[in-house]
């Protein structure tokens, strides 16, 4: 057999050949032209003209893989978020973001209420300022508190102390709470000689700084003050109420009526324990009630249904919230609060 052009051998001819006599394309497996019958030899077989040849077979190329765009975008978003979070937490720690309770006023641009408490152990026991701040945060209010609350101190002692005026001047307080020593408001002679003069000067200092003074109307001792002619709790509470409401009227300063709410709770048949064993200082329930009263007084809003219960049973916390709301908001004008 003669080799065909391109290295094909007759009978084993490669594909893509034509008969030069009739210009018919033939597959390489044929020995004769399927059109004219001529034997296919090297003389009459040639590569097909370009116009007659079928297009050469091209090995298909696999399509390039489609990039997983959705997954890439998600990964990019996660990385950007993580970087942003790291930067934010470096500048503003978790407490400032409110993830661990009340964040205070350290977050720039956030609306915040600053409250200074000036009092004694009735303020410091169980940390009333912090309890109030946590309750406020449960109600959506950022609060920053500070306290001057040396045990047994009177308002006159606070007025004379070197740190009181600078502390009042140190911040743009929204409210400054004044709490007199627990017994003094119940005696007319002590009110006139000690409480009222000191309260008047402190209120002046507070207002000079643009803050609002509030009197903390406290609760009486569990057994009254028999040595001073106040034989039981109700008689001492009535005297304390008179003492605070008297200076409130004189100076046009509102009161947070903790003592009045306290008496409502005590008058209930199954009230929680409000006094510690000393019959004077508050239990956790008593402090929580006071915080609820301050919440209603400062924000003019009900504390009922707020989620912070300070570890108390939920039913008890709700009951104390309800009493505080009814006491303050039921007749705000009676306590000198704007309506």
| Confidence category of residue 130, pLDDT binned at 50, 70, 90 | very high
pLDDT of residue 328: 98
Residue 92 has pLDDT above 90, yes or no: no
Least confident of 72-76, 123-127, 161-165, 282-286: 72-76
Q: What are phi and psi of 72, to 5 degrees?
A: -65, -45
Q: Which sequence spans correspond to the domains of the chain?
A: 1-56, 102-335
Per the CB < 8 A criterion, the answer to whether 145 and 129 are in contact is yes
Q: Where are the alpha helices (DSSP H) in 58-161?
A: 69-91, 94-97, 121-124, 128-138, 155-160
Of 51-60, 121-130, 222-231, 275-284, the one with minimum mean pLDDT is 51-60
Question: What pLDDT digit, counting tens, does each position of 43-63 carry?
Answer: 565 555 555 444 554 555 555
For residue 252, what are the CA distances in angstroms to 62, 179, 183, 273? Answer: 87, 16, 23, 34
3-state secondary structure of 117: strand
Fold held by 102-335: Rossmann fold (3.40.50)
Measure CA of the first residue to CA of the last residue in the chain; give whole Å: 120
- The predicted pLDDT at position 111 comes to 87
Residue 228's pLDDT band (cuts 50, 70, 90):
very high
> What does the alpha-carbon distance between residue 219 and residue 233 come to, in Å, rounded to a whole number?
9
Average pLDDT over the chain, rounded to an integer? 85
Residue 37: count other Cβ atoms within 10 Å of its Cβ. 10
Predicted confidence (pLDDT) at residue 191 exceeds the cutoff of 80: yes
What lies within 8 Å, CB to CB, of 54 at 6+ separation is 16, 25
Phi, psi for 283 (deg, rounded to 5)? -80, 180
| 69-83, 132-146, 200-214: range with lowest mean pLDDT | 69-83
In this prediction the pTM is: 0.72
């Amino acid at each position: 057999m003669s080799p065909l052009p391109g290295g094909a051998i007759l009978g084993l001819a490669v594909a893509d050949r034509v008969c030069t006599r009739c210009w018919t394309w033939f597959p390489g497996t044929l020995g004769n032209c399927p059109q004219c019958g001529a034997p296919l030899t090297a003389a009459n077989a040639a590569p097909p003209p370009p116009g007659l040849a079928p297009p050469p077979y091209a090995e298909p190329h696999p399509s390039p893989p489609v990039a997983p765009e959705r997954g890439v975008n998600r990964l990019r978003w996660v990385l950007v978020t993580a970087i942003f979070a790291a930067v934010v937490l470096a500048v503003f720690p978790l407490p400032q973001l409110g993830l661990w309770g009340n964040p205070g006023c350290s977050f720039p641009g956030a609306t915040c209420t600053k409250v200074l408490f000036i009092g004694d152990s009735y303020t410091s026991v169980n940390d009333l300022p912090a309890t109030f701040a946590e309750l406020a945060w449960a109600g959506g209010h950022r609060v920053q508190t500070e306290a001057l609350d040396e045990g047994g101190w009177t308002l006159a002692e606070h007025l004379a102390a070197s740190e009181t005026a600078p502390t009042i001047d140190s911040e743009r307080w929204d409210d400054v709470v004044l709490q007199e020593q627990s017994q003094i408001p119940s005696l007319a002679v002590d009110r006139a000689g000690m409480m009222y003069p000191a309260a008047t000067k402190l209120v002046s200092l507070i207002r000079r700084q643009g803050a609002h003074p509030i009197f903390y109307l406290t609760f009486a001792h569990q057994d009254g003050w028999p040595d001073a002619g106040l034989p039981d709790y109700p008689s001492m509470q009535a005297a304390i109420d008179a003492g605070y409401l008297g200076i409130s009227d004189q100076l046009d300063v509102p009161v947070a009526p903790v003592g009045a709410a306290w008496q409502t709770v005590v008058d209930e048949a199954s009230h929680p324990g409000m006094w510690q064993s000393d019959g004077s200082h508050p239990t956790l329930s008593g402090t929580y009630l006071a915080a609820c009263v301050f919440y209603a007084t400062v924000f003019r809003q009900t504390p009922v249904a707020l989620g912070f219960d300070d570890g108390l049973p939920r039913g008890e916390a709700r009951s104390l919230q309800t009493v505080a709301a009814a006491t303050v908001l039921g007749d705000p004008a009676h306590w000198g609060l704007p309506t």
